[in-house]
Amino acid sequence: MQDVDPPDLTLWPTLRYLYPLWREQWRLVTLGLVCALAFTGLSLAIPILIQRTIDDAIDGGDTSLLLPYLGLILVIAALRFAFNFTRRYSTARIGIAVEARLRGMMYDAYLRFPRAFYDRHATGEVISRATNDIYPVRYFIGWGVVQAIQSVMMLVGAAIVLISVDAQLTLIAALAMPPIALLTYVFAHRVHPISRVVQAKKGNLTEATDEAVIGIEMVQAFGREDDVRSRFGDRAEAVRAETMRQAGIEARFLPGLIFLPSLAIAAVLYFGGKDAIAGTLTIGQFTLFITLLLQLVWPLEALGWIINLGQRATAAASRSFAWLGSIKALPEPVEPKHLPEGPLTIRLENVHFSYGVGSEVLSGVDLDLAPGEIVAVCGATGAGKSSLLNLLPRFYDPTHGRVLVGGIDSRDLGLAELRGSVALVTQKPVLFSVLLRDNLLSGRPDADWADVLAACEAAGVAAFVDGLPNGYDTLIGERGVNLSGGQRQRVALARALVARSRVIVLDDPMSAVDTETERHLVETLRPAVAGRTVLISGQRLSTILVADRAVVLKDGRIVENGLPQDLIRLGGAFTDLFGDEALAA
């Protein structure tokens, strides 16, 4: 059994995956960096020009310089606007494009991943890898990388400007600045784990909500409203407490981030003020110091954020790429063989199967189905019926032994050809949130409508379709009509019939159908599947009786094999399963 839960990648392999995605956007990256450089230069030019205005035109008294200086500032501001817009827009587009690419890659991979993968991972986890987990990557690659480079440019630029004005004062003022980046980083580092805890607590709360809503009848029937309320209340309080813990850290750090630059400005105010009194620093230069220091606060904060964002992004990406890189689809043959024409035989040879964890589910099953034969697989809950049936469309490969369809090992067939010929109906079938019509056609979109109607008649869909608001054009699912379990089973049955597969695998397909309907189905099903090879499992004798022959699965092996009537008389495993039901008649 291949590994479907690979460990997260380490940093370098993650970056090796991430880099090509980033490089794909090289035009936008180049554009963003050029604009960032221009933006930085212009952003530094404006305070310098204001300094000159103050020193030359206002304090210096040469008023003729006032208008040219101010005009230049306006022109530069207009240019900065254009560059700033282009930089923001292009970097945002990088992130969005990478997000879409990565999500597309994940989805394509999901379509290829084997069943074992979905057995192992909860639906919520699989979904969030392709949605929420991608956001840090988007913001890091899109905004983070360019902003980090821009921050460094701004820091270097401002340092050059300030040092050229007054090196000593720059040194004093700069003392308070690095802690801004450090503090931001420490803050993000501390707050992030808590925000994860908050998310987890919210998850608990959602669970309590789910249970109360889905189990409302139980809650009300036993009059236990107060208990679920207090359970919910406790969890809501836990969310509040954690959110407050997060707010506590925010409250300690964020106002402090405003205080640190104040210290730098106070230093400029005092030491710069003394220089100004001594005449070694002009008022304009003094103002330049304060303005530029304030202008550096955001780039410094941004650096702290980006470092943390980068860690989260690589962590998220390392998980996604581990899936993309390590989980393989079921191996397909290089030169696939093809199925013969006409009805197909099914043959299981000494099939062993286990899910990788726990004991063996099937330990040496031998089974032969003639073309067009209907065989029922019986057995108690947990006997391995579903595992056996799932081998036919090759959702799993046997750990030992072979499954032959039409005389060919299923591993030697193209997956699409095999699955196109084997239709599976499960006990809890999944219908898609599209029109009933499209659900029926999902196995063979080009099917003749008359065929669909015939299948619906045979599968008992026709019996309830008139009760639906728009007949076959009714929207199914959360946003449309919720069908009952029995109705869903019947739709799935019809869907399999429409697909015109030559092999039909029915895994307890009528468990949720009421008995009257089941009797009807048992009668219509046989002619509808004529010429197809059918493997069916079921809990009720009435379901089993649709078959030509029954086999009983026990302890991973087939222990009985014969006509249902004969098996009843045998008084063995089959009688244990269905005896009372038959004798009651």
Partner 1 sequence: MRHLPHNTHTGLSRLGRYTVGRRKRLTGVMLLAAVSAAAPVAGWVIVGDAIDNGIKAENLTRLTADVVLYIAIGATAWIIGTTTWLMLAGIGQQIVLDLRRDLFEHLTSLSLRYFSQQKAGWIIARLTSDVDALSDVLNQGLTTLVVNSMTLVAAIIGLFVLDWRLGVVALIILPPGIVVTRWFQTTSHVAFADVRTRIAAVTAQLAESVSGMAVVQAFSRERAFQSEFAELNEANRVSNVYAQRLSSFFFPAIEFLGAIATVGVIFAGAKMIDSGSLEIGTLIAAMGMLQLIFQPLQELSELYGQVQAASAAMTKISTVLDAEQDITDREGAPEIGRIAGHLKLDNVVFAYGDEPVIHGISIDVPEGGCVALVGESGGGKSTTAKLIARFYDPLEGSVTIDGIDLRDIQLRSLRRQLGVVLQDPFLFSGTIADNIRFGRPEATDEEVAAAAHAIGVDRVTARFEGGLDHVVREGGSGLSAGERQLISIARALLADPRILILDEATSNIDRPSEILIEQAFDTLLRGRTSVIIAHRLATVRRADEILVIEKGYVTQRGNEAALLAEEGPFRRLAETVHGLPARDVA
Distance (Å, whole) CA 494 – CA 499: 9
- Residues 3, 5, 59, 555: which binds partner 1 (CB under 8 A)? 59
Task: Kindly tell me which of 499 and 551 has the beta carbon lying closer to partner 1.
Answer: 499
- Fill in the DSSP letter of residue 65: G
With binding defined as CB under 8 A, does residue 19 bind partner 1? no
With binding defined as CB under 8 A, does residue 112 bind partner 1? yes
- Fill in the DSSP letter of residue 134: G
User: Least distance in Å: CB of 125 to partner 1?
Assistant: 10
- Residues 519, 526, 549, 557: which binds partner 1 (CB under 8 A)? 519
With binding defined as CB under 8 A, does residue 358 bind partner 1? no
Question: CA 265 → CA 170, 253, 290, distances in Å?
Answer: 11, 19, 6
Task: Kindly tell me which of 200 and 251 has the beta carbon lying closer to partner 1.
Answer: 251
- Residues 499, 506, 525, 558: which binds partner 1 (CB under 8 A)? 499
Token pair of 316 as six digits: 């998220």
If we measure between CA atoms, which residue out of 78, 17, 6 comes closest to residue 42?
78
Tell me the window of 1-9, 181-189, 550-558, 562-570 that interacts with partner 1 (CB under 8 A): 562-570
Of residues 60 through 79, those in contact with partner 1 by CB under 8 A are 61, 63, 66-67, 70, 73-74, 77-78
- Residues 64, 164, 359, 381: which binds partner 1 (CB under 8 A)? 381
Tell me the window of 1-9, 11-19, 122-130, 312-320 that interacts with partner 1 (CB under 8 A): 122-130
CB 411 within 8 A of CB 344: no
Count of other CB atoms within 10 angstroms of residue 387:
21
Tokens 């607590």 locate to 201
Contact letters for partner 1, residues 166-205 (x by CB under 8 A): ------------------------------------x--x
Show Cβ contacts of residue 407 under 8 Å, excluding neighbours closer than 6 positions: 340, 345, 347
Task: Kindly tell me which of 287 and 345 has the beta carbon lying closer to partner 1.
Answer: 287
With binding defined as CB under 8 A, does residue 460 bind partner 1? no
User: Least distance in Å: CB of 18 to partner 1?
Assistant: 18
Of residues 290 through 349, those in contact with partner 1 by CB under 8 A are 290, 294
Task: Kindly tell me which of 9 and 423 has the beta carbon lying closer to partner 1.
Answer: 423
CB 294 within 8 A of CB 261: yes
Of residues 537 through 556, those in contact with partner 1 by CB under 8 A are 539-543, 545
Q: What is the CA radius of gyration of the chain?
A: 35
With binding defined as CB under 8 A, does residue 502 bind partner 1? no
Distance (Å, whole) CA 309 – CA 440: 46
Number of residues binding to partner 1, judged by CB under 8 A = 154
DSSP for 189-258?
A: HHHHHHHHHHHHHHHHHHHHHHHHHHTHHHHHHTT-HHHHHHHHHHHHHHHHHHHHHHHHHHHHHHHHHH
User: Least distance in Å: CB of 347 to partner 1?
Assistant: 21
User: Least distance in Å: CB of 374 to partner 1?
Assistant: 15
Tokens 């270097």 locate to 156
With binding defined as CB under 8 A, does residue 475 bind partner 1? no
Token pair of 215 as six digits: 């189990």
- Residues 193, 200, 482, 571: which binds partner 1 (CB under 8 A)? 482
Q: Residue 554 pairs with which residues in a beta bridge?
A: 557
Distance (Å, whole) CA 286 – CA 282: 6
- Residues 14, 25, 40, 53: which binds partner 1 (CB under 8 A)? 53
Task: Kindly tell me which of 16 and 467 has the beta carbon lying closer to partner 1.
Answer: 467
Show Cβ contacts of residue 183 under 8 Å, excluding neighbours closer than 6 positions: 253, 256, 257, 260, 304
